[in-house]
Amino acid sequence: MVVLTVLSLAMWLLTVHDANFSRMGQLGLVSILGWTYFVGLVLVTMGFANELLRTPLRKTWLLVFVLLLALYIFGTGSAVEPIASLPDSYRHAGLLEFIFQNGYARPHYVADFSWPGAFSLGSVFVAFAGQTNALGFTRWFPFFIELLYLAPLIVIVRSIGVGRRAAWFGIALFYTTDWIEQDYFSPQALGYFYLLVIMAAVFATWRAKPSPLFAGLRKNLHFRMARSRRALQLSRLKERGADPSPGTEPTSLSVFDSWRPRLVSAAKARRPKLVSVFDSWRLKPNPPIFGTQVVIQRRYVHGRVASLFARLEGRDTTKSLNTVQTLGVLGLLVLIMFALAMSHELTPYALILMLAGCLISRHLGRPELLAVAVLLALGWLSLGASDYWLGHLSDIFGGFGQIGSTLTDNVANRIAGSSVHQFAVNIRIYIILGIYLLAGVGVLRRATDSRVLEVVAVAPFFLLVVSSYVGEGLLRVVLYALPFTSLLAASAILPQQSGLIRSWLPDFRIFRYGRSSHTVIWTLVFSIVLASALATTVARGGNDDYESFTKGELDAVNYVYNHVTPGATVGTISPYLPFNQRSVGSVYWVSLYTSGSPTIKEITTGLLQIHAQYVVLSQSQENWGEIVAGFPKGWESRVFLSLATHGFHVVAAWPTASVLQVDPKIAKKG
Amino acid sequence: MSGFLVASAASLSTSPAELIVMVVDFLLLSIRACSGVLGLRLTSRDSRILTSATVFFVALFIVLVVVRFKSLG
């Protein structure tokens, strides 16, 4: 394992050393990764599969290989690209800089300032680090935050009731299928960390109490009722001293007697009033057969109702801490929820749905936590973010109930652009389909004491009923459910064998973990992890040709900031530029197009209409035009020529960017 | 943090009902959560009343928020 570790690390370092960012093609990051990347990934996957199926399990080595997987998938982009990718990283750095310099969030500016918690926290860290802005943190932030996710993930997988091997396999699948790239420098990345921490604390603190009411009630209800009716008649005969006929004692009598006292004691613990009614029914002499059936039905219904109330009040759980410790955990979780409610607009509602799922599946002993989550999320939206939604509530709830249009916004509208770009988009869809297919098999194969994993994996999808979230709702929801979906997918290969709820599929020996099936399961684990890691490498870096930037482009943007007059407008064709990281509110950047295929004339007219003092043309915008908008090669030079006829001239140039300024005399005439 | 304080102070004048109900909710939830530690020996009847009151005030808060959204959104 030491050899595999050292070799794979060496391969990664060679990959980073040899990768030439300037030669990136339409397929993005993977187009500049050499054979060393793929060999290294194979070595890491081999090491992980070996350790996963080893007896005894060596957690340290499993952790090492999971970290190496994270390094390959999330660290390669950060190491290869000269500066942080994604324009929103810079925009968030700019918002943070505003709070750092002014001490408050600017009102009536952008929606993000209505949820300033993450930016406020970031400004604290910037001050602590002795910096004046957060640009130094943006490049490696994705790798850093993904590593931060590992700790709560380990707590979740240990506490949620999957086997140890499935737990580690699930963690590996989480990292190898996380192409969604919401881990850039953003409030949602921090919000996701808060979400994982809260869920980890909930799962670690509370477990489902084995229910005596349902431990034996797995078969058909009518059969159970008939059996219970016969057993009740025989027990009454015994009470009166009459001998039942030999051979007429049902084998179920012991079953009935075994759970009837538990039913009584369970009902007594929960509903004292109910027990007296229950007792009065039970002691009625010689009830008719029909009456007996009604009594049994009523007992069953009341038992279920009592159980439901007990579940909703959190009394159907056991906790691993004492009362004072539990209160301490609750207090900390309330603080984290407060921070989350102030930091991101969507994650608190995903948390509410997942906590409700935990409560229903008997993994939340304190429903107060759910109530606090609702109060904080709605309270902040209503009171703290009113600046955002006053007059724009349709932006949040306009898509209520329109699941079809939500799916169209999130899926169909993204399959656009060149064939290479569409290939990367299709890979993303296949990854999601693949993981959910495996998760479905996992649901059928695993035995368990509680279906909390399934409930929590499905719960976030109810968010799609409310809003498409600007065409990103499905991505966010898949991300929220990803840890749990990964565990279910892991259970398809390494399912738990024991539990009150049996598996629904027969257990074939060839797929059962053991000496005889070692090779088959090793092959499956290796294939799935490697395939998903390769697919995520393609999918995750698929847009990097226009979403990652050069130092020249950053220098061009800084040139504009250093020379532009406050209040002026700066124009770009598309938003794929590292801008908005300074002077928030004093310089207005206007990007004309994020989609569509405008003509050169329309682009020129648009830039003239916004009365831009400067226009920035760049390599990343040109790549966007070729890959997404379908422009021919060299289209940006035609835009430049067109602008030149309208008074624009180059004031600064780099190999990958140029800054155009309009002639002041022509600007005045315009 | 300062952003939150400024925002909440500005909202206080426009929606005191929501703030008051929210405070009452937190009080009830705190009593329910800390009853054991505080030494409050709640009977089952007390517990049911407390739970019902908490549910009522949480529902009231949601209704107030929805009404505010409808009137101003």
Contact indicator for A74, A176 with CB cutoff of 8 Å: no
- Residue A113 CA: distances (Å) to CA of A125, A345, B4: 18, 11, 10
The pLDDT tens digits for A260-276 are: 545 555 555 544 444 44
| Partners of residue A591 on adjacent β-strands | A572
Q: What is the pLDDT of residue A237?
A: 72
Q: Which of A662, A643, A659 is nearest to A556 (CA)?
A: A659
Q: How far apart are CA A234 and CA A242, in angstroms?
A: 9
Distance of CA A111 to the CA centre of its chain: 22
Between A231 and A212, whose confidence is greater?
A231
Q: Greatest CA separation found in chain A?
A: 115
Label residue A254 by pLDDT band (50, 70, 90): very low
Q: What is the mean pLDDT of residues A385-391?
A: 72
| CATH (one of 1.10.1060, 2.70.98, 1.20.120, 3.40.50) for A549-669 | 3.40.50
Q: What is the pLDDT of residue A341?
A: 94
**Range in A237-241, A358-362, A634-638 with the lowest mean pLDDT:** A237-241
**Range in A137-146, A386-395, A528-537, A571-580 with the lowest mean pLDDT:** A386-395
Q: Give the HSE-up count for residue B28: Cα atoms under 13 Å, Cβ half-sphere.
A: 24
Q: What is the pLDDT of residue A298?
A: 62
**Range in A83-97, A175-189, A206-220, B31-45 with the lowest mean pLDDT:** A206-220
Q: Judge: A327–B34 Cβ closer than 8 Å, yes or no.
A: yes
Return the amino acid letter for A38.
Answer: F
Between A317 and A576, whose confidence is greater?
A576
The pLDDT tens digits for A53-94 are: 988 889 999 999 999 999 999 999 999 999 999 999 999 999
The chain-wide mean pLDDT, for chain A, equals 83
Q: Is B9 on the interface with A (CB under 8 A)?
A: no
**Range in A98-107, A190-199, A499-508, A590-599 with the lowest mean pLDDT:** A499-508
Written as six digits, the tokens of A426 are: 């299709």
Is pLDDT above 60 for A279?
no
Q: What does the radius of gyration of chain A's CA atoms come to, in whole angstroms?
A: 30
Q: Is B36 on the interface with A (CB under 8 A)?
A: yes
Written as six digits, the tokens of A277 are: 């009614």
Q: What is the pLDDT of residue A223?
A: 55
The chain-wide mean pLDDT, for chain B, equals 78
Q: What is the pLDDT of residue A667?
A: 55
Q: How far apart are CA B71 and CA B65, in angstroms?
A: 10
Q: What is the pLDDT of residue A248?
A: 44
The pLDDT tens digits for A434-475 are: 999 999 999 998 888 888 999 999 999 998 887 666 667 888
Q: What is the pLDDT of residue A273?
A: 46
Is pLDDT above 50 for A602?
yes
Label residue A486 by pLDDT band (50, 70, 90): very high
The pLDDT tens digits for A411-428 are: 555 555 667 778 888 899
The pLDDT tens digits for A296-341 are: 566 666 667 667 777 777 777 878 888 889 989 999 999 999 999 9
Q: Judge: B6–A104 Cβ closer than 8 Å, yes or no.
A: yes
What does the DSSP assignment read for A89-131?
HHHHHHHHHHHHHHSSPPTTS-GGGGS-HHHHHHHHHHHHTT-
Is pLDDT above 80 for A289?
no
Q: What is the mean pLDDT of residues B62-66?
A: 88
Q: Greatest CA separation found in chain B?
A: 45
3-state secondary structure of A627: helix
- Residues in chain A with CB shorter than 8 Å from the CB of B8 are 383-384
- Residues in chain B with CB shorter than 8 Å from the CB of A342 are 4
Written as six digits, the tokens of A562 are: 């250093």
Return the amino acid letter for A128.
Answer: F
Q: Judge: B36–A323 Cβ closer than 8 Å, yes or no.
A: yes
Q: Judge: B4–A384 Cβ closer than 8 Å, yes or no.
A: yes
- Residues in chain A with CB shorter than 8 Å from the CB of B6 are 104
Contact indicator for A44, A8 with CB cutoff of 8 Å: yes
**Range in A190-204, A252-266, A384-398, B57-71 with the lowest mean pLDDT:** A252-266
Indicate the residue of B15, B37, B44 with minimum beta-carbon distance to A382.
Answer: B15
- Residues in chain B with CB shorter than 8 Å from the CB of A390 are 72-73
Return the amino acid letter for A515.
Answer: R
Q: What is the pLDDT of residue B47?
A: 82
Q: How far apart are CA A201 and CA A355, in angstroms?
A: 11
| Partners of residue A501 on adjacent β-strands | A448
The pLDDT tens digits for A168-197 are: 999 999 999 999 989 999 999 999 999 999
Q: Judge: B61–A386 Cβ closer than 8 Å, yes or no.
A: no
Is pLDDT above 60 for A356?
yes
Q: Considering only alpha carbons, which residue of chain A is nearest residue B12? A: A383
Q: What is the mean pLDDT of residues A585-608?
A: 84
Is pLDDT above 90 for A656?
yes
The C-alpha of A382 sits at a distance from chain B's nearest C-alpha, in angstroms, of: 6
Is pLDDT above 90 for A484?
yes
Q: What is the pLDDT of residue A316?
A: 76
**Range in A16-20, A279-283, A363-367, A448-452 with the lowest mean pLDDT:** A279-283
- Residue A179 CA: distances (Å) to CA of A430, A453, A543: 11, 22, 11
Q: What is the mean pLDDT of residues A162-166?
A: 91
Burial class (CB in 10 A: 0-12, 13-18, 19+), A110: middle
Is pLDDT above 50 for A287?
no
Distance of CA A410 to the CA centre of its chain: 15
Q: How many CB atoms lie within 10 A of CB A89?
A: 26
Q: What is the mean pLDDT of residues A236-242?
A: 67
Q: Judge: A368–B33 Cβ closer than 8 Å, yes or no.
A: yes
Indicate the residue of A105, A113, A330 with minimum beta-carbon distance to B33.
Answer: A330
Q: How far apart are CA A487 and CA A441, in angstroms?
A: 11
- Residues in chain A with CB shorter than 8 Å from the CB of B69 are 382, 389, 393, 397
Q: Which residue has the tokens 């050393």?
A: A17
Pairing assessment for the beta strands A588-591 and A317-319 based on DSSP bridges: unpaired
- The single-letter DSSP state of residue A25 is B
**What ipTM does this complex have?**
0.84
Delimiting residues of CATH 3.40.50 domain(s) in chain A: 549-669
Q: What is the pLDDT of residue A299?
A: 64
Q: Is B56 on the interface with A (CB under 8 A)?
A: no
Give the relative orientation of helices B16-34 and B2-12 as an angle to the nearest 10 degrees: 120
Reported as type and span, the H/E element at residue A141 is helix A141-159
Q: What is the pLDDT of residue A144?
A: 95
Q: What is the pLDDT of residue A344?
A: 93
Q: How many CB atoms lie within 10 A of CB A216?
A: 15
Is pLDDT above 50 for A159?
yes
Indicate the residue of B15, B25, B37 with minimum beta-carbon distance to A383.
Answer: B15
Q: What is the mean pLDDT of residues A634-658?
A: 90
Q: How far apart are CA A394 and CA A388, in angstroms?
A: 11
Q: How far apart are CA A40 and CA A9, in angstroms?
A: 7
Indicate the residue of B1, B29, B65 with minimum beta-carbon distance to A382.
Answer: B65
Is pLDDT above 50 for A251?
no
- Residues in chain A with CB shorter than 8 Å from the CB of B72 are 386, 390-391, 393
Between B2 and A577, whose confidence is greater?
A577
Q: Is B37 on the interface with A (CB under 8 A)?
A: yes
